[in-house]
Amino acid sequence: MKQLILNLESRSESSRYWEFGVNTCHAPLWFRNDLTAQMKRMREELGFRYVRFHGVLNDDMDVMRADGTFHFDRVIQVYDAVRNAGMRPFVELSSMPSALASSDASLCHYGFRSAPPRSWKTFRELIAAFARALTEHFGADEVKNWYFEVWNEPDIPFWSGTMEEYFKLYDLARSAVKSVCAEYRVGGPATSKTKWIAEFIEHASKPSPEDPSEGIRCDFISTHAYPSDLPFLDSAEGDVKLQEAGVLRTLYAAARAELDKTWGTDFPLFIGEWNSSAGPYAFNHDDCNNAPFICKTMAELRAFCCGSLFWNASDIYEEGGFHYTPFHGGYGLMTVNDFPKAAWHAFRFLRETGPEILEASFDEPCEEHGVLASGGEGELRLLVWNYRRPGTAGVPLEFSLPPCCGAGGTIERILPGKGSAYETWIALGKPDFLNKESFDALDRASRVVPETFSGGEAVRLMPGSAALLKIRRDGKEENR
């Protein structure tokens, strides 16, 4: 049995960066009442403050017509919906309107146009007009709180141009946004697998042709990573080979190191997209094991990043066409039927951690097991996970608590059938449509069941699960 080692004297303020934000699929889905209702709930229960999505410049948003005129009414309606949900936009400037695209190249069910503009001058005018429209509607003081990210994953087929052409696109978009308000925040490169970071830093460090005194031509770095063998799969189905979760730690540590040596340790680095795999409709997204994956990832990346944008908020999603079945491997934290997945509860557990992070570890460390300890308001909170590595049955976890936990408290476990309804859906025969009986069964299975425990009890956690312990302080001050 392992021993949990806890040092109450070693404290640091929690950045709570896991509450920064989340992604949804593409802009027009914000016209759906079911998605906006889910997003309001996520703001209230998970604390997400920003939301990012593809395609604000897509043809279905009607921003540029064949006659060359610009129209932003639909985009403003979408951002009004975001603000009404209590969140703010992390604006992804994509994709290329067909009236401006240099070719018909596109991908995804909804037609993400990947081509460079046939008129770079018109592209800059479009982005400047867009920034002005947002400013007129929302006010500069509000938009200063937003982020403008140039494009999505230009290192893979979301961009059919070269890296140099992407840098030109970035420069023009940044110049256009800054021409409206110099305080607006613009960044990139929004690449997959944390690619192009060194090259982008070198490019954005060069003097601006328009203003040589500008200095660093970037306000934040955003980049993506998934622990799978595929950066993107443009299809409705896709089996993936999963990598161990620690690959995200390796990738973001390297990106952080590049920033530290050039722009400094305080320069903002965002995890723009991440999940347990990049493959669309892969059932690891639904599995109970996604909860410890999230807990482990968020605990490990907090040393490198200032904000997380999980992909994706909801299974109300259309990259490969809309899927209606209760579970179909969708990226979302919540199903199309509004059932929270295990992944949802992982973010809820993270939100319920305290304001101060405490030094904590197991006396026998291993890659599968981890703990994030926190304190505040006379209570200890221990977020513990037992991650099941791909291709293994996992390693059972049993541990004892230190004397300062002697008062006991409550424990919530994310388990199959208790916080993870996916396994219950399998047991029901994987129904495509739900009757009242099966709906109620999945609803019950999606809920975590709190239990009480005493400080002298050993805590057990099965592979592929996570737990949140809330421990009453009994006045003792032992550190171990």
The pair of three-digit structure tokens given for residue 434, joined into one six-digit string: 């739900």
Check: CB of residue 186 under 8 Å from CB of residue 124. no
273 is catalytic: yes
Distance CA 192, CA 171 (A): 20
275 class by beta-carbon count within 10 Å (0-12 exposed, 13-18 middle, 19+ buried)? buried
Query: Which residue among 92, 258, 273, 368 is the active-site one?
Result: 273
Distance CA 431, CA 146 (A): 42
Other CB atoms within 10 A of residue 477 CB: 9
Residue of 105, 82, 84 lying closest to 23 (CA atoms): 82
Other CB atoms within 10 A of residue 89 CB: 23
Distance CA 476, CA 242 (A): 44
The pair of three-digit structure tokens given for residue 168, joined into one six-digit string: 């030109």
300 residue type, one letter: E
Q: Would strands 379-386 and 369-376 be described as parallel, antiparallel, or unpaired?
A: antiparallel
Helices marked H in 229-382 — which ranges? 246-262, 290-301, 342-351
CA atoms within 13 A on the CB side of 42: 38
Residue of 455, 452, 468 lying closest to 413 (CA atoms): 468
Q: How does 9-38 read in b/e, with b if 16+ C-beta sit within 10 Å?
A: eebeebebbbbbbbbbbbbbbbeeeebbeb
Q: Would strands 112-113 and 269-273 be described as parallel, antiparallel, or unpaired?
A: unpaired
Distance CA 321, CA 236 (A): 7
The pair of three-digit structure tokens given for residue 144, joined into one six-digit string: 């200063």
Residue of 404, 425, 407, 408 lying closest to 416 (CA atoms): 425
Residue of 53, 113, 81 lying closest to 318 (CA atoms): 53
The pair of three-digit structure tokens given for residue 1, joined into one six-digit string: 């049995």
Torsion region of 155: left, alpha or beta (phi above 0 gives left; psi -120 to 50 gives alpha): alpha
Distance CA 314, CA 35 (A): 8
Query: Which residue among 153, 258, 368, 423 is the active-site one?
Result: 153
Distance CA 324, CA 331 (A): 13
Q: Which residues are catalytic?
A: 153, 273
